[in-house]
Each structure stands twice: as structure tokens, then as C-alpha cells.
Amino acid sequence: MRMNILVTLNSHYIKPLTVMLKSLFINNPGESFHIYLMHSSMTEEELAGIRSYVEREGHALSVITVSDDMFKDAPVIKHYSKEMYYRILAYQFLPEALDTILYLDPDLIVINEIRSLYSTDISHALFAAAYHDRLSVKEINRLRLRPYDIEAYYNSGVLLMNLARQRERIDEHEVFAFVEENKLRLILPDQDIINALYAKDIVKVDEVRFNYDPRYYFYYKLASNGKVDMDYVVKHSSIIHFCGKKKPWNKNYSGNFHSLYKHYEKIALMPQPV
């Protein structure tokens, strides 16, 4: 059964998105993907490039162009664009027939199968996500988002969505009201919205398997008494998510998964045989 993948994109992220998709395709052989790409500013030429890439790999692409007036009631915050609403309101733009979709950030690579993530039972939830289970992060974010009674602070870079339920339960006016009220303290707006409003409606998935953050390599290893080492991660983690400001495609990045990222970048951007 085909898996639906949601990505959002602007021109700065074409290269990382290509790498992410290549890693997804190559490490899920025998699977068929339908990529839904939401954007507001890509050129026809850029979109054609992505389309031919996805189709050459044997998968399907649908482009959803969001014009700014579609969120005409939405409040904006300082340097954030209205793209911050794409993830949470995607259900409004996706085909009615779609019940499930997996949102993936472009700053990650998929190094093992994701069928088991896609099959997570979210029939009674809005989302499935991992939270980055380090006390300090959780505490800071709970504090920051008080008085919202959040259970945990989920990372929204990998987000399995129950679209059918979202259509019933997510109200854009509630979302816009929340943003309006909390303008000044939102740091990662889309992630903050999802956590503040819907944390109780999120199924937790394993962070090491589905949202491994390489900045915490030594933390994971220590916390697991050495079990979650490089060998374990390469064999068992499906998603390596390069969170934070430093990105592995930039000069002077350094980190334990740099060489692996560069490997996928190389094969993704390799000239194709004609």
C-alpha cells in the first residue's frame, strides 16, 4: 500500500529535500510513495526539477501551491512566514480521500524502513510524534508554554497525521487565536502550536527509531548503558533528524553523522545516467 508523504518547501531547501527523498526511496525498496509538496514560492522550473526527480525514482508527486490569501485571517509573527501554518493546517489542502500522511522535515535522512512508523495506530489521535526525551528540554518548554497543560514537548519534524480526525477536531480559528495570544513567546511556532493545543492527542513514538537527534549521540549512548551506539543507530534508527542551527550540508558542520549525510547527498545529487 502506497505511503503518503508531506513536505513543505521553499527554494533554500531544494537540495536537502532531494537528499531526504533519496534516502527515503533507497532505504525503502519495494515501497511506493506519493509525495505531497506544499509551497508558496517555488518557480515552475524548480517544481519541474523535483517532479522529474521523484518520477524517475518511480514515485508520484502532487504539488499544492498555497497562495498567501489562503491564510488571510492568520496572524503573523516577526520573521516567520505563513509557512508556519502549513503543517498544522495541511488537512485543509490535501485530497479528501487521504486519511493518513507522514510529514517529514527536509533536514533529516531516512536510513531504514519507515513502514512501521507509518503503521502506528493513530486511529484515536491527531498525530504521532517523538519527543526529545531530555528533562531539561521538556521542563523548559513546559514552563514556556504555561498555562497550557502539556504532557511532553513533541518534535514536529516527523509527524504522522490522522487527517480524517484532524478535519473534525482542528479548528483554524483556535489555532489563530492561540498564536495571537502567544505571539511573543513562540519560539518554534508550528511546534509550539501543536504541543500547546494538541499534546494530549499525540501518540508517542520512539525517538531513537524515528527522530534521532545526532547532537545527543553521547546522551543516547549513556542513557542506554551503551546499547544505543553507532552500530545500533545505523541498524535500527529509521530517521536521523539534524535539528538545530548547524546543518550537515553547510560548511564547517561537524558531527557523528556528517560522513553518512554526505554519502546520501552524493548519491542524491549524482548526475543521472541519460
Residues that bind a copy of itself in the complex, under the rule CB under 8 A: 111, 226, 229-231, 233-235, 251-254, 256-260, 262-263, 265-266
Q: Least distance (Å) from a copy of itself to the CB of residue 109?
A: 10
Residues 6+ apart with CB under 8 A from 42: 9, 10, 11
Q: Least distance (Å) from a copy of itself to the CB of residue 257?
A: 5
Q: Least distance (Å) from a copy of itself to the CB of residue 216?
A: 14
Nearer to a copy of itself, 1 or 270 (CB): 270
Nearer to a copy of itself, 161 or 233 (CB): 233
Nearer to a copy of itself, 55 or 229 (CB): 229
Backbone angles phi, psi at 180, to 5 degrees: -55, -45
Q: Least distance (Å) from a copy of itself to the CB of residue 224?
A: 14
Nearer to a copy of itself, 55 or 218 (CB): 218
Closest CA to 236 of 199, 194, 207, 268: 207
Q: Least distance (Å) from a copy of itself to the CB of residue 110?
A: 13
Nearer to a copy of itself, 97 or 270 (CB): 270
